[in-house]
A and B are shown apart, each in its own frame.
Chain A
Protein backbone atom coordinates (compact mmCIF):
# COMPACT_ATOMS: atom_id res chain seq x y z
CA UNK A 1 0.00 0.00 0.00
CA UNK A 2 2.79 2.42 0.86
CA UNK A 3 4.49 1.54 -2.40
CA UNK A 4 1.36 2.35 -4.35
CA UNK A 5 0.82 5.69 -2.59
CA UNK A 6 4.47 6.54 -3.00
CA UNK A 7 4.38 5.76 -6.71
CA UNK A 8 1.22 7.79 -7.16
CA UNK A 9 2.93 10.79 -5.59
CA UNK A 10 6.00 10.31 -7.78
CA UNK A 11 3.72 9.98 -10.77
CA UNK A 12 1.96 13.24 -9.97
CA UNK A 13 5.28 15.05 -9.81
CA UNK A 14 6.59 13.77 -13.12
CA UNK A 15 3.13 13.99 -14.64
CA UNK A 16 2.87 17.69 -13.79
CA UNK A 17 6.08 18.36 -15.69
CA UNK A 18 4.87 16.30 -18.66
CA UNK A 19 1.58 18.16 -18.58
CA UNK A 20 3.26 21.58 -18.75
CA UNK A 21 5.38 20.51 -21.70
CA UNK A 22 2.46 18.71 -23.37
CA UNK A 23 0.48 21.97 -23.33
CA UNK A 24 3.11 23.53 -25.57
CA UNK A 25 2.88 20.67 -28.04
CA UNK A 26 -0.88 20.70 -28.09
CA UNK A 27 -1.28 24.47 -28.43
CA UNK A 28 1.03 24.62 -31.43
CA UNK A 29 -0.64 21.58 -32.96
CA UNK A 30 -4.07 23.11 -32.37
CA UNK A 31 -3.21 26.30 -34.20
CA UNK A 32 -0.88 25.05 -36.96
CA UNK A 33 -1.34 21.29 -37.21
CA UNK A 34 2.40 21.07 -36.57
CA UNK A 35 4.14 18.72 -34.16
CA UNK A 36 6.96 20.91 -32.93
CA UNK A 37 9.54 18.26 -32.13
CA UNK A 38 11.95 20.97 -31.03
CA UNK A 39 9.73 21.74 -28.04
CA UNK A 40 11.69 19.40 -25.72
CA UNK A 41 14.83 21.36 -26.54
CA UNK A 42 13.14 24.48 -25.24
CA UNK A 43 12.84 22.76 -21.87
CA UNK A 44 16.57 22.00 -21.98
CA UNK A 45 17.45 25.60 -22.80
CA UNK A 46 15.26 26.70 -19.91
CA UNK A 47 17.11 24.46 -17.47
CA UNK A 48 20.59 25.35 -18.72
CA UNK A 49 20.06 29.09 -18.99
CA UNK A 50 18.64 29.06 -15.46
CA UNK A 51 21.68 27.07 -14.35
CA UNK A 52 24.10 29.58 -15.89
CA UNK A 53 22.25 32.46 -14.26
CA UNK A 54 22.19 30.80 -10.87
CA UNK A 55 25.82 29.70 -10.94
CA UNK A 56 27.09 33.11 -11.97
CA UNK A 57 24.96 34.78 -9.29
CA UNK A 58 26.35 32.39 -6.71
CA UNK A 59 29.83 33.26 -7.97
CA UNK A 60 29.21 36.99 -7.43
CA UNK A 61 27.07 36.89 -4.29
CA UNK A 62 27.24 33.52 -2.55
CA UNK A 63 24.93 34.64 0.26
CA UNK A 64 21.78 35.25 -1.76
CA UNK A 65 18.80 33.31 -0.46
CA UNK A 66 18.06 30.19 -2.54
CA UNK A 67 14.54 31.25 -3.47
CA UNK A 68 15.86 34.52 -4.87
CA UNK A 69 18.40 32.58 -6.93
CA UNK A 70 15.67 30.34 -8.24
CA UNK A 71 13.51 33.34 -9.13
CA UNK A 72 16.45 34.94 -10.94
CA UNK A 73 17.04 31.69 -12.84
CA UNK A 74 13.41 31.60 -13.94
CA UNK A 75 13.47 35.29 -14.81
CA UNK A 76 16.25 34.60 -17.30
CA UNK A 77 15.09 31.17 -18.46
CA UNK A 78 11.55 32.21 -19.35
CA UNK A 79 12.38 35.13 -21.68
CA UNK A 80 15.27 33.15 -23.16
CA UNK A 81 12.98 30.27 -24.08
CA UNK A 82 10.32 32.65 -25.36
CA UNK A 83 12.89 34.24 -27.66
CA UNK A 84 14.11 30.87 -28.91
CA UNK A 85 10.53 29.79 -29.67
CA UNK A 86 9.72 33.12 -31.32
CA UNK A 87 12.78 32.79 -33.56
CA UNK A 88 12.09 29.20 -34.53
CA UNK A 89 8.57 30.09 -35.59
CA UNK A 90 9.64 33.24 -37.41
CA UNK A 91 12.69 31.81 -39.17
CA UNK A 92 11.82 28.17 -39.73
CA UNK A 93 8.12 27.38 -39.51
CA UNK A 94 6.43 30.52 -40.83
CA UNK A 95 7.81 30.20 -44.33
CA UNK A 96 6.55 26.60 -44.43
CA UNK A 97 2.99 27.56 -43.47
CA UNK A 98 1.49 26.46 -46.80
CA UNK A 99 3.87 23.56 -47.44
CA UNK A 100 2.88 19.88 -47.30
CA UNK A 101 2.83 18.66 -43.71
CA UNK A 102 5.96 16.55 -43.96
CA UNK A 103 8.15 19.59 -44.63
CA UNK A 104 7.51 21.42 -41.33
CA UNK A 105 7.68 18.12 -39.45
CA UNK A 106 11.15 17.33 -40.79
CA UNK A 107 12.13 20.94 -40.19
CA UNK A 108 11.05 20.58 -36.57
CA UNK A 109 13.38 17.61 -36.17
CA UNK A 110 16.10 19.70 -37.77
CA UNK A 111 15.46 22.58 -35.37
CA UNK A 112 15.67 20.09 -32.53
CA UNK A 113 19.13 18.91 -33.65
CA UNK A 114 20.24 22.47 -34.22
CA UNK A 115 19.25 23.57 -30.72
CA UNK A 116 20.86 20.53 -29.13
CA UNK A 117 24.08 21.14 -30.98
CA UNK A 118 24.09 24.83 -30.12
CA UNK A 119 23.50 23.92 -26.49
CA UNK A 120 26.39 21.48 -26.63
CA UNK A 121 28.62 24.25 -27.96
CA UNK A 122 27.51 26.70 -25.29
CA UNK A 123 27.27 24.39 -22.28
CA UNK A 124 29.55 21.54 -23.26
CA UNK A 125 28.84 17.84 -23.26
CA UNK A 126 29.09 17.24 -19.55
CA UNK A 127 26.37 16.70 -17.05
CA UNK A 128 26.04 19.74 -14.81
CA UNK A 129 24.92 19.61 -11.23
CA UNK A 130 21.82 21.71 -10.82
CA UNK A 131 21.88 23.40 -7.40
CA UNK A 132 19.28 22.21 -4.92
CA UNK A 133 17.67 25.53 -4.17
CA UNK A 134 14.56 23.97 -2.74
CA UNK A 135 15.21 21.15 -0.33
CA UNK A 136 15.10 17.64 -1.70
CA UNK A 137 15.16 16.14 1.76
CA UNK A 138 12.05 13.98 1.87
CA UNK A 139 9.32 14.67 4.37
CA UNK A 140 7.24 11.81 5.60
CA UNK A 141 3.59 12.90 5.76
CA UNK A 142 2.42 9.27 6.09
CA UNK A 143 4.55 6.47 7.42
CA UNK A 144 6.58 5.00 4.61
CA UNK A 145 5.51 7.65 2.05
CA UNK A 146 8.03 10.33 1.17
CA UNK A 147 7.70 13.64 -0.63
CA UNK A 148 10.26 16.42 -0.78
CA UNK A 149 9.59 20.17 -0.72
CA UNK A 150 10.83 20.45 -4.30
CA UNK A 151 8.28 17.86 -5.39
CA UNK A 152 5.50 19.67 -3.57
CA UNK A 153 6.55 22.91 -5.28
CA UNK A 154 6.51 21.22 -8.68
CA UNK A 155 2.93 20.04 -8.20
CA UNK A 156 1.74 23.41 -6.89
CA UNK A 157 3.47 25.59 -9.47
CA UNK A 158 2.31 23.34 -12.32
CA UNK A 159 -1.27 23.46 -11.10
CA UNK A 160 -1.08 27.24 -10.85
CA UNK A 161 0.38 27.65 -14.32
CA UNK A 162 -2.14 25.30 -15.87
CA UNK A 163 -4.97 27.17 -14.22
CA UNK A 164 -3.56 30.46 -15.52
CA UNK A 165 -3.22 29.13 -19.04
CA UNK A 166 -6.71 27.65 -19.15
CA UNK A 167 -8.12 30.94 -17.86
CA UNK A 168 -6.21 32.86 -20.49
CA UNK A 169 -7.42 30.63 -23.30
CA UNK A 170 -11.04 30.32 -22.20
CA UNK A 171 -11.78 33.63 -20.57
CA UNK A 172 -9.90 36.40 -22.33
CA UNK A 173 -10.17 38.23 -25.64
CA UNK A 174 -6.73 36.99 -26.58
CA UNK A 175 -7.62 33.40 -25.78
CA UNK A 176 -10.77 33.72 -27.84
CA UNK A 177 -8.68 34.94 -30.75
CA UNK A 178 -6.35 31.96 -30.27
CA UNK A 179 -9.26 29.52 -30.37
CA UNK A 180 -10.78 31.26 -33.39
CA UNK A 181 -7.44 31.17 -35.20
CA UNK A 182 -7.03 27.49 -34.33
CA UNK A 183 -10.33 26.80 -36.00
CA UNK A 184 -9.91 28.94 -39.12
CA UNK A 185 -6.99 31.24 -39.92
CA UNK A 186 -8.71 32.95 -42.83
CA UNK A 187 -11.93 33.77 -41.02
CA UNK A 188 -9.97 34.90 -37.96
CA UNK A 189 -8.12 37.39 -40.16
CA UNK A 190 -11.50 38.59 -41.43
CA UNK A 191 -12.34 39.42 -37.81
CA UNK A 192 -9.30 41.67 -37.64
CA UNK A 193 -7.05 39.13 -35.95
CA UNK A 194 -3.38 39.37 -36.90
CA UNK A 195 -2.97 35.63 -37.36
CA UNK A 196 0.83 35.76 -37.51
CA UNK A 197 0.94 37.45 -34.14
CA UNK A 198 -1.42 34.93 -32.57
CA UNK A 199 0.68 32.03 -33.88
CA UNK A 200 3.89 33.61 -32.58
CA UNK A 201 2.19 34.16 -29.26
CA UNK A 202 1.16 30.51 -29.09
CA UNK A 203 4.76 29.41 -29.54
CA UNK A 204 5.98 31.91 -26.97
CA UNK A 205 3.39 30.90 -24.36
CA UNK A 206 4.23 27.22 -24.78
CA UNK A 207 7.90 28.05 -24.44
CA UNK A 208 7.34 29.91 -21.17
CA UNK A 209 5.70 26.81 -19.73
CA UNK A 210 8.53 24.62 -21.04
CA UNK A 211 11.09 26.93 -19.42
CA UNK A 212 9.48 26.48 -16.02
CA UNK A 213 9.17 22.75 -16.64
CA UNK A 214 12.88 22.60 -17.47
CA UNK A 215 13.86 24.31 -14.24
CA UNK A 216 11.55 21.97 -12.30
CA UNK A 217 12.92 18.91 -14.03
CA UNK A 218 16.51 19.91 -13.33
CA UNK A 219 15.70 20.85 -9.73
CA UNK A 220 14.05 17.50 -9.13
CA UNK A 221 16.85 15.37 -10.55
CA UNK A 222 19.69 17.76 -9.65
CA UNK A 223 21.16 17.47 -13.13
CA UNK A 224 21.12 19.38 -16.42
CA UNK A 225 22.80 18.74 -19.76
CA UNK A 226 22.42 19.52 -23.44
CA UNK A 227 20.42 16.38 -24.32
CA UNK A 228 18.11 16.42 -21.31
CA UNK A 229 15.17 17.75 -23.35
CA UNK A 230 14.84 14.76 -25.62
CA UNK A 231 13.19 12.23 -23.33
CA UNK A 232 10.78 14.55 -21.51
CA UNK A 233 9.95 16.08 -24.89
CA UNK A 234 9.04 12.70 -26.29
CA UNK A 235 7.09 11.78 -23.16
CA UNK A 236 5.19 15.05 -23.25
CA UNK A 237 4.40 14.48 -26.90
CA UNK A 238 3.06 11.07 -25.91
CA UNK A 239 1.01 12.72 -23.19
CA UNK A 240 -0.45 15.19 -25.69
CA UNK A 241 -1.39 12.37 -28.05
CA UNK A 242 -2.79 10.31 -25.18
CA UNK A 243 -5.03 13.18 -24.10
CA UNK A 244 -6.06 14.05 -27.66
CA UNK A 245 -3.66 16.39 -29.44
CA UNK A 246 -4.97 19.90 -29.93
CA UNK A 247 -6.97 19.68 -26.72
CA UNK A 248 -5.72 21.62 -23.67
CA UNK A 249 -7.54 19.57 -21.06
CA UNK A 250 -6.36 16.47 -22.86
CA UNK A 251 -2.72 17.51 -22.63
CA UNK A 252 -3.00 18.03 -18.89
CA UNK A 253 -4.89 14.80 -18.33
CA UNK A 254 -2.51 12.93 -20.62
CA UNK A 255 0.51 14.27 -18.75
CA UNK A 256 -0.81 13.24 -15.37
CA UNK A 257 -2.01 9.84 -16.57
CA UNK A 258 1.31 9.14 -18.26
CA UNK A 259 3.23 10.17 -15.14
CA UNK A 260 1.06 7.90 -12.99
CA UNK A 261 1.29 4.90 -15.31
CA UNK A 262 5.03 5.30 -15.54
CA UNK A 263 5.60 5.63 -11.83
CA UNK A 264 3.21 2.92 -10.75
CA UNK A 265 4.47 0.70 -13.54
CA UNK A 266 8.06 1.26 -12.51
CA UNK A 267 7.12 0.38 -8.95
CA UNK A 268 5.70 -2.98 -9.89
CA UNK A 269 7.49 -3.94 -13.08
CA UNK A 270 9.89 -6.19 -11.20
CA UNK A 271 7.07 -8.14 -9.54
CA UNK A 272 5.13 -8.47 -12.77
CA UNK A 273 8.04 -9.76 -14.82
CA UNK A 274 9.39 -11.95 -12.02
CA UNK A 275 12.55 -9.91 -11.83
CA UNK A 276 13.21 -10.04 -15.55
CA UNK A 277 12.78 -6.27 -15.94
CA UNK A 278 13.43 -3.63 -13.30
CA UNK A 279 12.44 -0.01 -12.80
CA UNK A 280 15.12 1.30 -15.14
CA UNK A 281 12.87 0.04 -17.91
CA UNK A 282 10.16 2.53 -16.94
CA UNK A 283 10.38 4.32 -20.32
CA UNK A 284 8.71 1.29 -21.86
CA UNK A 285 5.36 2.42 -20.50
CA UNK A 286 5.25 5.73 -22.32
CA UNK A 287 5.96 4.16 -25.66
CA UNK A 288 3.64 1.22 -25.19
CA UNK A 289 0.94 3.79 -24.42
CA UNK A 290 1.88 5.87 -27.46
CA UNK A 291 1.65 2.83 -29.71
CA UNK A 292 -1.60 1.64 -28.19
CA UNK A 293 -3.27 5.05 -28.44
CA UNK A 294 -2.21 5.49 -32.05
CA UNK A 295 -3.55 2.06 -32.94
CA UNK A 296 -6.75 1.87 -30.90
CA UNK A 297 -7.79 5.43 -30.21
CA UNK A 298 -5.95 7.90 -32.43
CA UNK A 299 -8.10 10.78 -31.21
CA UNK A 300 -6.84 10.26 -27.65
CA UNK A 301 -8.80 10.28 -24.40
CA UNK A 302 -10.50 13.64 -24.92
CA UNK A 303 -10.01 14.01 -28.66
CA UNK A 304 -12.92 15.20 -30.68
CA UNK A 305 -14.69 12.95 -33.04
CA UNK A 306 -13.86 13.78 -36.61
CA UNK A 307 -17.41 14.85 -37.32
CA UNK A 308 -17.13 17.66 -34.77
CA UNK A 309 -14.47 19.28 -36.87
CA UNK A 310 -16.79 19.71 -39.85
Chain B
Protein backbone atom coordinates (compact mmCIF):
# COMPACT_ATOMS: atom_id res chain seq x y z
CA UNK B 1 0.00 0.00 0.00
CA UNK B 2 1.25 3.46 -0.75
CA UNK B 3 2.31 5.73 2.05
CA UNK B 4 0.03 8.42 3.44
CA UNK B 5 -0.44 11.57 1.43
CA UNK B 6 -0.36 9.86 -1.93
CA UNK B 7 -3.41 10.78 -3.93
CA UNK B 8 -5.85 8.44 -5.55
CA UNK B 9 -5.66 9.04 -9.28
CA UNK B 10 -8.19 6.55 -10.52
CA UNK B 11 -11.03 4.87 -8.69
CA UNK B 12 -13.41 2.26 -10.03
CA UNK B 13 -16.41 1.55 -7.82
CA UNK B 14 -18.73 -1.32 -8.67
CA UNK B 15 -18.03 -0.95 -12.38
CA UNK B 16 -20.27 -3.05 -14.61
CA UNK B 17 -20.07 -3.33 -18.38
CA UNK B 18 -22.40 -5.36 -20.56
CA UNK B 19 -22.41 -6.31 -24.23
CA UNK B 20 -26.12 -6.54 -24.86
CA UNK B 21 -27.44 -9.05 -22.39
CA UNK B 22 -24.00 -10.46 -21.60
CA UNK B 23 -22.31 -8.94 -18.58
CA UNK B 24 -18.57 -8.93 -19.12
CA UNK B 25 -17.63 -6.93 -16.04
CA UNK B 26 -19.79 -7.53 -12.98
CA UNK B 27 -18.76 -5.02 -10.37
CA UNK B 28 -15.10 -4.11 -10.25
CA UNK B 29 -13.54 -2.01 -7.51
CA UNK B 30 -10.05 -0.84 -8.24
CA UNK B 31 -7.83 1.99 -7.12
CA UNK B 32 -4.68 3.44 -8.55
CA UNK B 33 -2.52 6.01 -6.81
CA UNK B 34 -0.53 8.72 -8.53
CA UNK B 35 2.82 7.45 -9.77
CA UNK B 36 1.91 3.81 -9.32
CA UNK B 37 2.14 0.92 -11.70
CA UNK B 38 -0.70 -1.51 -11.15
CA UNK B 39 -1.43 -4.64 -13.11
CA UNK B 40 -4.63 -6.44 -13.82
CA UNK B 41 -4.14 -10.10 -14.53
CA UNK B 42 -6.46 -12.97 -15.26
CA UNK B 43 -7.44 -15.56 -17.80
CA UNK B 44 -8.78 -14.90 -21.27
CA UNK B 45 -12.29 -13.51 -21.13
CA UNK B 46 -12.05 -12.41 -17.51
CA UNK B 47 -13.03 -8.86 -18.47
CA UNK B 48 -9.64 -7.16 -18.30
CA UNK B 49 -9.76 -5.52 -21.72
CA UNK B 50 -13.37 -4.52 -21.19
CA UNK B 51 -12.39 -2.82 -17.94
CA UNK B 52 -9.62 -0.85 -19.66
CA UNK B 53 -11.92 0.21 -22.48
CA UNK B 54 -14.47 1.40 -19.95
CA UNK B 55 -11.81 3.54 -18.29
CA UNK B 56 -10.71 4.97 -21.64
CA UNK B 57 -14.33 5.67 -22.52
CA UNK B 58 -14.84 3.51 -25.58
CA UNK B 59 -17.41 1.35 -23.77
CA UNK B 60 -20.32 2.67 -21.70
CA UNK B 61 -20.86 1.51 -18.11
CA UNK B 62 -24.00 -0.34 -17.21
CA UNK B 63 -23.40 0.27 -13.53
CA UNK B 64 -20.96 1.72 -11.01
CA UNK B 65 -18.67 4.68 -11.53
CA UNK B 66 -15.18 5.64 -12.58
CA UNK B 67 -13.53 8.72 -11.19
CA UNK B 68 -10.24 10.27 -12.12
CA UNK B 69 -8.74 13.06 -10.07
CA UNK B 70 -12.01 13.06 -8.10
CA UNK B 71 -13.95 13.76 -11.30
CA UNK B 72 -16.72 11.38 -12.35
CA UNK B 73 -15.95 10.32 -15.91
CA UNK B 74 -19.45 9.05 -16.75
CA UNK B 75 -20.37 11.86 -19.12
CA UNK B 76 -16.95 12.27 -20.70
CA UNK B 77 -16.49 10.68 -24.16
CA UNK B 78 -13.22 8.95 -25.02
CA UNK B 79 -11.75 11.87 -26.95
CA UNK B 80 -12.18 14.16 -23.96
CA UNK B 81 -10.74 11.67 -21.49
CA UNK B 82 -7.48 11.81 -23.43
CA UNK B 83 -7.43 15.56 -22.81
CA UNK B 84 -7.67 14.81 -19.07
CA UNK B 85 -4.53 12.69 -19.39
CA UNK B 86 -5.85 9.14 -19.81
CA UNK B 87 -4.27 7.34 -22.78
CA UNK B 88 -4.99 3.76 -23.83
CA UNK B 89 -2.67 1.58 -25.88
CA UNK B 90 -5.35 -0.79 -27.12
CA UNK B 91 -5.24 -4.53 -27.45
CA UNK B 92 -3.82 -5.43 -30.85
CA UNK B 93 -2.00 -2.05 -30.89
CA UNK B 94 -4.50 -0.12 -33.01
CA UNK B 95 -1.88 1.25 -35.36
CA UNK B 96 -3.19 3.25 -38.33
CA UNK B 97 -1.75 0.86 -40.89
CA UNK B 98 -2.29 3.14 -43.87
CA UNK B 99 -0.63 6.15 -42.28
CA UNK B 100 3.13 6.50 -42.04
CA UNK B 101 4.96 5.98 -38.77
CA UNK B 102 5.39 9.72 -38.45
CA UNK B 103 1.71 10.37 -39.13
CA UNK B 104 0.82 7.83 -36.44
CA UNK B 105 2.99 9.69 -33.96
CA UNK B 106 1.45 13.00 -34.99
CA UNK B 107 -1.97 11.51 -34.35
CA UNK B 108 -0.72 10.79 -30.84
CA UNK B 109 -0.04 14.50 -30.45
CA UNK B 110 -3.36 15.46 -32.09
CA UNK B 111 -4.70 17.30 -29.04
CA UNK B 112 -1.56 19.37 -28.54
CA UNK B 113 -0.91 22.83 -29.87
CA UNK B 114 2.62 23.27 -28.52
CA UNK B 115 4.69 22.42 -31.58
CA UNK B 116 7.99 22.81 -29.68
CA UNK B 117 6.88 20.54 -26.90
CA UNK B 118 5.71 17.95 -29.42
CA UNK B 119 9.04 18.09 -31.23
CA UNK B 120 10.89 17.59 -27.94
CA UNK B 121 8.68 14.67 -26.93
CA UNK B 122 9.08 13.21 -30.39
CA UNK B 123 12.86 13.31 -29.95
CA UNK B 124 12.52 11.57 -26.56
CA UNK B 125 10.39 8.85 -28.10
CA UNK B 126 13.06 8.35 -30.76
CA UNK B 127 15.70 8.08 -28.04
CA UNK B 128 13.72 5.38 -26.33
CA UNK B 129 12.67 3.66 -29.53
CA UNK B 130 15.39 4.09 -32.17
CA UNK B 131 13.72 1.46 -34.37
CA UNK B 132 10.74 3.73 -34.78
CA UNK B 133 12.98 6.60 -35.80
CA UNK B 134 14.56 4.49 -38.53
CA UNK B 135 11.18 3.73 -40.01
CA UNK B 136 9.68 7.19 -39.71
CA UNK B 137 8.49 7.51 -43.31
CA UNK B 138 7.40 3.93 -43.76
CA UNK B 139 3.72 3.02 -43.92
CA UNK B 140 2.96 1.68 -40.46
CA UNK B 141 1.27 -1.47 -41.75
CA UNK B 142 4.66 -2.70 -42.94
CA UNK B 143 6.16 -2.73 -39.43
CA UNK B 144 6.73 -5.95 -37.52
CA UNK B 145 4.52 -6.76 -34.54
CA UNK B 146 7.11 -5.57 -32.05
CA UNK B 147 7.71 -2.33 -33.92
CA UNK B 148 3.98 -1.73 -34.08
CA UNK B 149 3.72 -2.20 -30.33
CA UNK B 150 6.55 0.26 -29.77
CA UNK B 151 4.90 2.70 -32.14
CA UNK B 152 1.61 2.33 -30.27
CA UNK B 153 3.32 3.11 -26.97
CA UNK B 154 5.31 5.98 -28.45
CA UNK B 155 2.16 7.40 -29.97
CA UNK B 156 0.32 7.23 -26.65
CA UNK B 157 3.22 9.01 -24.91
CA UNK B 158 2.99 11.91 -27.35
CA UNK B 159 -0.30 12.95 -25.81
CA UNK B 160 1.66 13.46 -22.55
CA UNK B 161 -0.58 11.16 -20.52
CA UNK B 162 -0.68 11.11 -16.75
CA UNK B 163 -2.30 7.70 -16.74
CA UNK B 164 -1.24 5.14 -19.32
CA UNK B 165 -3.47 2.14 -19.86
CA UNK B 166 -1.61 -0.72 -21.52
CA UNK B 167 -3.55 -3.64 -22.92
CA UNK B 168 -1.44 -6.79 -23.35
CA UNK B 169 1.70 -5.11 -24.70
CA UNK B 170 3.49 -8.48 -24.77
CA UNK B 171 0.90 -10.27 -26.87
CA UNK B 172 2.35 -12.31 -29.72
CA UNK B 173 5.87 -10.92 -29.35
CA UNK B 174 9.22 -12.65 -28.97
CA UNK B 175 10.73 -12.63 -25.45
CA UNK B 176 13.53 -10.22 -26.40
CA UNK B 177 11.06 -7.73 -27.80
CA UNK B 178 8.86 -8.07 -24.73
CA UNK B 179 11.86 -7.32 -22.56
CA UNK B 180 12.59 -4.18 -24.55
CA UNK B 181 8.99 -3.04 -24.28
CA UNK B 182 8.94 -3.52 -20.54
CA UNK B 183 12.16 -1.53 -20.25
CA UNK B 184 10.40 1.32 -22.01
CA UNK B 185 7.34 0.98 -19.78
CA UNK B 186 9.58 1.06 -16.75
CA UNK B 187 11.30 4.23 -17.83
CA UNK B 188 7.94 5.85 -18.57
CA UNK B 189 6.87 5.08 -15.04
CA UNK B 190 10.05 6.54 -13.66
CA UNK B 191 9.12 9.79 -15.36
CA UNK B 192 6.05 9.89 -13.17
CA UNK B 193 3.38 8.48 -15.45
CA UNK B 194 0.96 6.18 -13.65
CA UNK B 195 0.36 2.89 -15.39
CA UNK B 196 -2.44 0.38 -15.40
CA UNK B 197 -1.24 -2.74 -17.16
CA UNK B 198 -3.36 -5.62 -18.38
CA UNK B 199 -1.37 -8.77 -19.02
CA UNK B 200 -1.85 -12.44 -19.55
CA UNK B 201 1.79 -12.92 -18.80
CA UNK B 202 1.21 -12.66 -15.06
CA UNK B 203 4.78 -13.41 -14.04
CA UNK B 204 6.11 -10.50 -16.01
CA UNK B 205 3.36 -8.11 -14.94
CA UNK B 206 3.69 -8.87 -11.24
CA UNK B 207 7.44 -8.51 -11.41
CA UNK B 208 7.16 -4.94 -12.70
CA UNK B 209 4.03 -3.70 -10.96
CA UNK B 210 3.84 -2.55 -7.38
CA UNK B 211 0.36 -3.88 -6.96
CA UNK B 212 -1.85 -6.27 -8.80
CA UNK B 213 -5.48 -7.24 -9.13
CA UNK B 214 -6.54 -10.70 -10.20
CA UNK B 215 -9.68 -10.80 -12.26
CA UNK B 216 -11.93 -13.78 -12.90
CA UNK B 217 -15.27 -13.91 -14.71
CA UNK B 218 -15.82 -10.18 -14.52
CA UNK B 219 -14.88 -9.78 -10.86
CA UNK B 220 -11.78 -8.97 -8.85
CA UNK B 221 -10.87 -12.11 -6.93
CA UNK B 222 -7.67 -11.03 -5.24
CA UNK B 223 -5.47 -8.01 -4.86
CA UNK B 224 -2.20 -7.25 -3.23
CA UNK B 225 1.37 -6.19 -3.80
CA UNK B 226 3.16 -7.75 -6.73
CA UNK B 227 5.29 -9.75 -4.35
CA UNK B 228 2.33 -11.05 -2.35
CA UNK B 229 0.53 -12.17 -5.46
CA UNK B 230 3.62 -13.83 -6.87
CA UNK B 231 3.90 -15.80 -3.65
CA UNK B 232 0.21 -16.67 -3.43
CA UNK B 233 -0.24 -20.38 -4.13
CA UNK B 234 -3.66 -19.90 -5.73
CA UNK B 235 -2.27 -17.31 -8.13
CA UNK B 236 0.72 -19.47 -8.88
CA UNK B 237 -1.50 -22.40 -9.68
CA UNK B 238 -3.99 -20.49 -11.79
CA UNK B 239 -1.90 -17.93 -13.64
CA UNK B 240 1.76 -18.75 -13.39
CA UNK B 241 1.52 -22.18 -14.86
CA UNK B 242 2.50 -24.11 -11.77
CA UNK B 243 0.89 -27.30 -10.63
CA UNK B 244 -0.51 -26.91 -7.13
Seen from chain A, the residues whose Cβ lies within 8 Å of a Cβ on chain B are 173, 176-177, 179-180, 183-184, 186-195, 308, 310
Contacts and interface: CB of A to CB of B under 8 A. Distances in A.
Interface string B66-110: 000000000001111011000110100010111100010011101
B99 A190 contact: no
Given A173-B106, A177-B107, A310-B141, A189 B96 contact: no
9 contacts: A180-B107, A186-B78, A188-B107, A189-B79, A190-B78, A190-B94, A191-B79, A308-B97, A310-B141
Nearest to A182: B98
A191 B87 CA distance: 8
B79 A192 contact: yes
B159 A191 contact: yes
Interface in B38-92: 56-58, 77-80, 82-83, 87-88, 90
Contacts of A186: 58, 78, 90, 94
B110 A187 contact: no
B17 to A, nearest CB: 15
Contact of A190 (B56, B103, B106): B56
Contacts of B79: 189-195
Interface string B144-157: 00000000000100
Contacts of B90: 186-187, 190
A310 B98 CA distance: 10
Nearest to B100: A176
Nearest to A189: B78
Q: Please give me the 8 A-B residue pairs with the lowest Cβ-Cβ distance, nearest first.
A: A192-B111, A187-B94, A192-B82, A189-B78, A191-B107, A189-B79, A191-B110, A192-B79
B1 to A, nearest CB: 31
B58 A190 contact: yes
Given A176-B107, A190-B58, A191-B107, 6 more contacts: A186-B58, A189-B57, A190-B88, A192-B110, A192-B111, A193-B107
Contacts of A189: 57-58, 77-79
A173 B102 CA distance: 12
B110 A177 contact: yes
Residue of B90, B94, B96, B106 contacting most chain A CB atoms (<10 Å): B96
Given A189-B77, A191-B82, A193-B79, A179 B96 contact: yes
Given A173-B110, A176-B106, A183 B83 contact: no
Contacts of A179: 96, 98-99, 103
A176 B83 contact: no
A194 to B, nearest CB: 5
B110 A183 contact: no
Nearest to A310: B97
| Interface core residue of A184, A190, A192, A193 (most chain B CB under 10 Å) | A190
Contact of A176 (B80, B97, B99): B99
A179 B110 CA distance: 13
Contacts of B56: 190
A192 B57 CA distance: 11
A308 B96 contact: no
B96 A184 contact: yes
Contacts of A177: 107, 110
* Of B79, B80, B90, most A-chain CB atoms within 10 Å: B79
A189 B108 CA distance: 11
B11 to A, nearest CB: 21
A190 B82 contact: yes
B112 to A, nearest CB: 9
A111 B6 CA distance: 57
